[in-house]
Amino acid sequence: MASQPYNRLTRPLPRSQQNLTPSVNIHPACRQNPLDSPQPEPNRPSQHRSLAFSHDTPPEERKITRRASAAPLMGNPPENVVFCTDDIVSLKDDELVIGVIDRSFGDVDTHSPRPQRDYPDDIERHSDVPYADFERFMQTGVPPRGTALVTWQSVFRTLLLPEARLNLLDRAVYVGDVVKRTSQDHMSGTVIGTQVLCRLFPSMLANFEKVHPSTHEHLFLHDVTAPEIINVHEYNEGGIVVYQNWVGRIERVIDDITVRLANNSVVIVDNPDDLEGASETLERLSVGDPVATKKGNLRRGRWRYGAFDPNVKPEGFVVETRALCIDVRWLARKLGAPRPTHGDFDDDPIARLDPTDMESPDFYLYDASASAAVALPFSADGQGRSYHVADIAVGDRSKFKDHVAAATKYDGSQKLANGRQQGKLTHTPRTETLGYDVNSYIVMQTNTTLTIQWQDLSVTQEPSRSIILDPTVEDEDEVWPGEIVYTKRRNDMDHEAAMEWVFKPAKVGIVQTVNSRDRLATVRWFEKPNIQFLGEDLIPPCTTGKLQEGTEDVSLYDIETKPSLNRRRGDFVLVHPGAINTQEIPVSLSGPDWFGEVIDLGLDGSIAVRLGAAKPVVDVRIPVESVTLAYSSDMRDGSFDGVDGESLDEEDEEYDGSDFDSASFNEMWIEYEGMDGGSLDGGNEEDWSTEDELSDGDTSMPDLEPIDGARTTNTTPETHAEPGNITQTTTPHPNQDPAIDATVKHNDTPSNPPAASASASSSASAPASFLVADTPVPQTHHFISSTITPSNTFIRRIVKEHKILRTSLPPNIFVRTWETRLDLLTVLIIGPSDTPYEHAPFLIDLHLPATYPSEPPRAFFHSWTQGNGPVNPNLYQDGKICLSLLGTWHADERGESWNPSKSTLLQVLVSILGLVLVKEPYYNEAGYDVHRSAPETKLNSALYTERAYFRARGFIAHALSYPISIFDDEIQWLYRSRDEGAPRLLDQAIEAAEDVLRRSADDSGNDSERDGLRRISLGATVMLSRQVERLKALGDGSSEEGGTA
């Protein structure tokens, strides 16, 4: 349900993935010393280039640097400061050495292994970072706690150094981002506006002079407001354009580059790609950049002043850039626009636009930073302007919109609040540059103030460095004011008339406020909405209608929303014809009035849209159903081949069962049980594999004749066939094998399985842990259509696996297989005690492929959350199980992958029990394990745990409501049986849940006691109370379904 963080179309990528580094020629003393040259440890060769002092560094400055190294070391970060990826930082020893954080310990999304692959130059180590920690970082990509990986904007270097040596200058936060004051806060907010002050430095001086703090401080301009400046490039990648009734996104800009040489001749070079800038990381050249090229590139160019002279070095600086053409990806077409009559089915405009197209009256460039001539107040409090975004970032090349006014304002006479001079604007007259305007500036630093609308509907302004991005933004249950939500309960009145796969919610409403601590939302419901979904898609036509007068407080876990139902700040939309009240817009309005950007969400079902391509720019308020999404930052470029980038339609060859040799099959079972029907002789299995087992030379054994229509029957301990008395009764239903493409997140096999919630083997009436059934395989088995041709190796391995499972299963794991389908198994696991999964049943289907054990088994988890979210990060709703032993997640140095000669089915089951069904499942997410027990993740973990707890109670209700044929008797014995020795798990589950409800009702407001397992939020108690009532009804013999989890 959570809104994805909004990234402006021009929002910068992490610095390792972009090339916006300002080309600044820093004096060697400033460039080298403040970073404190890292040196390799004694007797250890240096494998990575280290910062070294320049030979012209004065000795006294070296002493200063060595003294500076006595600052707090790694592990002692600045008090109350949290460093995040994309933060703008400086060195404490020299505030003019500015950089951007590429990786931080807390941002797991940046922790890709082997980080050196992202950088053309070597990553360097600060001397305060232990060499062993640095080497580990270079392998795992995870910065040690208390360190950060910084790319310095002034020295073109990337360094891993302690956070204690950094000052936080600014934080990259954008409109639409979800933020918090601290990670421990319950309440979050949405950024609805930004105001940015910039520190600028002249581009020309940065490139051709040695910049040193002691001599060039007066050249800096401080506290320049972002609306005063614009990017020197008119067209930028990611920009939005409108052309001939189409909206598109600029994918590439090709510039003509004009260069001034040392003899004052000026030429537009023949091939801009052959120009070499001062830095390899500079992707796009700007005015003021020094360049070099080959003489032929100049000779073939277009000369503006002078002519080609082979005696002049092919070096100079850029005096002008002009877009030669732009490549556009067309996104959407104006609604209701007439189609061409020439019969051409594909009426998209051409993908590459030249200057003629860009000068056409049908072409418009969307100005993301433009202010509206007609603006609207905030919907929250009715005060202030509704929206402003500063489209500027550190490293950008900029120029003043009004240079004359800027020269008057920044005349050197003003002082800042801290007593520092604001600076004097340095102006280079056109007369000195042959008529070219070279007055451009590098954005060296920014200072951002955010306007934030909090979940309680309050609006505040906060410095961005005092705010963090919400680490729980992916929380599916979180909502914010202005979002349209609906109940998870279906509209019963329309349920019979509607198609089964069409979902019409019982209620639809608008979130007014949110009490995040209690997990409650105040919602105002629509009276007669017409909202229906087909999967994730909204079925047109749809209307929300009139709102009811009152509001209702509901649990966050009782409502949800979908991207198709909501628009978010920053979404670009097509406005439906007739949606805008023409009396609310200027008569003189020209340009596209059918396209705009969502800038505000109303509390009445309306949204504010800025018509940013129109002249003048205006804001209008219209119903949310009156727009259609054209582009969102949530969208991803390119096409997907599947969830993990691989094909999802791989299929095994169809198998008809005609070549199965029943005699050989039975012979293997006789070997398994021994000639007298007893078990095999004991003995230690030193190794699972033999040369014969792992060879590919075994002859496939013929299959049984197929029998149509395998029936599903209940199986009880009394009717299970003993392995010594097996007969052939049915064969697999022939079909193809669906591929299972899992994404996985776990690594190890636990040394000791966790304690089970109850012993299932302490009674004579207890069901057996492992049995081979003589009944047909249930049609509900996920892999029933997956068939194999079993080989001798395959059968021998299964015999050994069965022997292990028969004798070594932990309590509360039950395994069933079928004599006619030894490649199929079904597993019932009872959740361990002291976890959110205690007392709950988990059903898993397994399939052993023909290549087993060379390949791991395939697994499918039966999720019973009714589509309301996962119960565990490793157990997907679509059945995927994330486990390295299953080959569905990479195994790191701590993990364990499938080993054909040593890994077993027992290991897989114990790993699921001990590594997946754990007390704090939040840390099962990939990369989160390093944050276990960290204070900043405690709240996130507790929220995940409480959600998993009441959802797992739903698993108990599901198993008792819908019989599982192969485990029906076992379920009844485990949960309902009153026989002596029966665990009575249903009674235990009800009693434990009621204890949780009692403790949570006595909540004193102390968040430290709320762990999500023994004490939960008020919103979670609503769901748990409902589950308890349902379980009590099932204990009385009812099997009716009720409620959702």
Tokens of 743: 């994404």
Mean pLDDT of 227-232: 92
Task: Write the pLDDT tens digit of every residue in 19-68.
Answer: 333 444 433 333 344 454 444 443 333 333 333 223 333 333 333 232 33
Higher pLDDT: 541 or 313? It is 313
Q: What percent of the chain clears pLDDT 70, i.e. is strictly above it?
A: 73
CATH number, domain 662-680+689-919: 3.10.110.10
Reported for 921-924, long-range contacts at CB under 8 A and 24+ positions apart, including other chains, are: 921/836, 921/872, 921/873, 921/874, 921/945, 921/948, 922/873, 924/745, 924/746, 924/872, 924/873, 924/874, 924/882
Q: Is the pLDDT of residue 890 over 80?
A: no
Residue 556 pLDDT level (bands cut at 50, 70, 90) = very high
Mean pLDDT of 918-939: 85
* pTM > 0.85: no
**Backbone CA torsion sign across 228, 231, 235, 241:** negative
CA 854 vs CA 288, 815, 841, 849, 850: distances in Å: 62, 22, 30, 9, 9
| Residues in the chain, overall count | 1045
DSSP 565: T
Where is average pLDDT lowest: 637-646, 810-819, 938-947? 637-646
How far apart (Å, rounded) are the C-alpha atoms in residues 355 and 366?
17
DSSP string, 125-177: E-TTS-HHHHHHHHHH--PPTTEEEEEETTTTEEEEEEGGGEEEEE----TT-
Q: In which residue ranges of the chain is CATH 3.10.110.10 found?
A: 662-680+689-919
Q: What is the pLDDT of residue 420?
A: 84
Where is average pLDDT lowest: 180-189, 384-393, 522-531? 384-393
How far apart (Å, rounded) are the C-alpha atoms in residues 545 and 529?
6
How far apart (Å, rounded) are the C-alpha atoms in residues 743 and 319?
51
Mean pLDDT of 969-998: 94
Q: What is the pLDDT of residue 654?
A: 36
- List the strands of the sheet with 572-575, edge to edge: 618-623, 606-611, 595-601, 572-575, 627-631
Where is average pLDDT lowest: 153-157, 160-164, 194-198, 636-640? 636-640
Q: Using DSSP bridges, classify how beta strands 441-454 and 178-180 pair: parallel, antiparallel or unpaired.
A: unpaired
Q: What is the pLDDT of residue 563?
A: 87
Main-chain dihedrals φ then ψ at residue 688, nearest 5 degrees? -70, -35
Where is average pLDDT lowest: 760-769, 846-855, 910-919? 760-769
Tokens 């969830």 correspond to what residue?
643
Report helix angle 938-961 to 985-1001, nearest 10: 140
CA 167 vs CA 100, 130, 164, 170, 420: distances in Å: 11, 21, 8, 9, 18
Average pLDDT, the chain: 79
How far apart (Å, rounded) are the C-alpha atoms in residues 660 and 820?
11
Task: Write the pLDDT tens digit of every residue in 426-457.
Answer: 888 888 889 999 999 989 889 999 999 999 99
Residue 546 pLDDT level (bands cut at 50, 70, 90) = very high
Where is average pLDDT lowest: 133-147, 242-256, 636-650? 636-650
Q: Is the pLDDT of residue 106 over 60?
A: yes
Where is average pLDDT lowest: 219-233, 268-282, 852-866? 268-282
Catalytic positions, written as ranges: 882
Tokens of 365: 């460039």
Q: What percent of the chain clears pLDDT 90, i.e. is strictly above it?
A: 53
